Amino acid sequence: MAHAIEAPAGSMAEGPTSHTQNQVNRLTAPQLRLLHRGLDPKRVGKDNKNHAHMEAWDIKRYLLRVFGFAGYDTENRELALVREIEIPGQSSTAPSRWTVVYRAQVRLTVKDVSGRELGHWDGEAVGDSYNQPKIGDAHDMAMKTAASQALKRAATNLGDQFGLSLYNNGSPAPVVGFSAAHPPVEWEKAAEPLPEPDDPPVKPEQGAHEEPTGVVNVDPECFQPHPDGQDFANQAALATSREAVENVRSLADGQGIANSGVLAPDSGQPDVLNAYLERRAAELASGSESDFEGFMRRVRNGWNSVPATRMALEEARQKGINDVVPFEGGRRAIQEVLDVRLKALKERAAQGGDERSAA
């Protein structure tokens, strides 16, 4: 008996459709060659948390190199103000400063050499600008940071040249390597490799506002700690284990304020939250000093600062620390010592002393 031979499921009499996978390749051999390469380590830098990252301008440069001029589009799907905080000056003559946070969603669309869309991807990110003297600059910086981060996240869908490999512990080594949709026969021998520029190491954008970890570049007389960041710093100061500090760090990262400015509980000086958390975690992990010794070190470092002394007194009350210590030729309980010192600092500030001590 003769048997009819059925056509494979999905084929149609009118021929291939726009969804047919074996249509003419819409990426050229030079494009595929570049996309399959490993990431040049000179394009990888470190952010202020010491994580591997790439500059947004370099991502745009490679979008132009791979897809050509007018070969890609970006669209801000969302750019929303999350929070605007006015930080009053510490005196009647000191101006306010501003902290601003934006949320962005950016769509990246790439096209083939004929201008037809190849695909699009959305990236989301939050960007902030902390403790700025001008409200306009604060908004401008926060918007640009959020949009740039969102674009970079969308671009990782294009593979290693756009930072995908950095999610593998910061490594520039390729993680894609092979794509069944684009086997090597399509591009390895289809065209000779084109000469590519030997680029110098990528530098941060001029005027980029990322400060090195552990630096708060502000006028101390105008400094005001980030309120939520300061709460996290205070929690870490009261922590009794490294794990507890790491939990605080995770919460701060989740809220996007790990790099906010705080008054460090161990020094009473302006600092970056993440830098203080690293020191506090290392302090707890080392076990080189007892809890009381660490507490007294923080007391000594912040002896001339109202905020640091106040935090030390709160820590002593919460932890029940009230050892008797030498003070002014005699011996007194540490909580009493801190209370006396706090009053003395406030009185000195009220009499025209260092205004920063009255923060």
Question: Domain total for the chain?
Answer: 2
Q: Is 341 found in the same domain as 230? A: yes
Q: Is 168 found in the same domain as 34? A: yes
CB 200 within 8 A of CB 42: yes
Work out the pLDDT band at 223, boundaries 50, 70, 90.
low
Within-domain flag for 71: yes
**Single-letter amino acid, residue 344:** A
Q: Is 225 found in the same domain as 166? A: no
The pLDDT of 171-183, averaged and rounded, is 87
Within-domain flag for 266: yes
Q: Is 290 found in the same domain as 227? A: yes
Within-domain flag for 185: no
Q: Give the whole-number percent of the chain exceeding pLDDT 90.
A: 23
pLDDT in tens, 118-146: 999 999 999 888 778 889 999 999 999 99
Q: Is 230 found in the same domain as 163? A: no
Within-domain flag for 83: yes
Domain of residue 304: give its range. 220-358
Q: Please report the pLDDT score of residue 17 as a whole number.
A: 37
Q: Which residue has the higher pLDDT, 70 or 328?
A: 70
pLDDT at residue 206 above 90? no
How is residue 119 written in tokens?
């695909």
Query: What does the alpha-carbon distance between residue 63 and residue 161 come to, in Å, rounded to a whole number?
Result: 9
Within-domain flag for 11: no
Query: What does the alpha-carbon distance between residue 74 and residue 54 come to, in Å, rounded to a whole number?
Result: 18
Q: Please report the pLDDT score of residue 55 as a whole number.
A: 92
Q: Is 140 found in the same domain as 54? A: yes
Give 110's DSSP letter: E
Of 116, 147, 172, the residue at which a domain comes to its end is 172
DSSP string, 7-30: PPTT--TT---TT-TTSPPSS-HH
Within-domain flag for 3: no
pLDDT in tens, 264-282: 877 777 777 888 888 888 7
Q: Residue 140 maps to which CATH number?
A: 3.30.390.80
Residue 234's contacts (CB-CB under 8 Å, 6 or more residues apart) are: 265, 311, 314
Nearest C-alpha neighbor of 102 from the set 146, 151, 152, 153: 146
Of 141, 172, 203, the residue at which a domain comes to its end is 172
How is residue 273 written in tokens?
């939250």
Q: Is 153 found in the same domain as 278? A: no
How is residue 101 written in tokens?
């946070």
Q: Is 42 found in the same domain as 152? A: yes
pLDDT at residue 67 above 70? yes
Q: Is 245 found in the same domain as 114? A: no
Q: Is 229 found in the same domain as 111? A: no
Within-domain flag for 2: no
Selection from 34-38, 85-89, 209-213, 268-272 with the highest mean pLDDT: 34-38
Instruction: Output the CA–CA distances (angstroms, integers) from residue 274 to 46, 250, 340, in the order listed.
Output: 15, 10, 31
Q: Is 36 found in the same domain as 168? A: yes
**Single-letter amino acid, residue 54:** M
Q: How many CA atoms lie within 13 A of 179 on its CB side?
A: 16
The per-residue pLDDT of the chain, averaged, comes to 79
Nearest C-alpha neighbor of 110 from the set 79, 149, 74, 142: 74
pLDDT in tens, 97-117: 888 999 999 999 999 998 999
Q: Is 166 found in the same domain as 33? A: yes
pTM of the model: 0.55
Of 143, 172, 201, the residue at which a domain comes to its end is 172
- Mark 29-52 as b/e (b = at least 16 C-beta within 10 Å): bbbbbbbbeebbeebbbeebbeeb
Within-domain flag for 131: yes
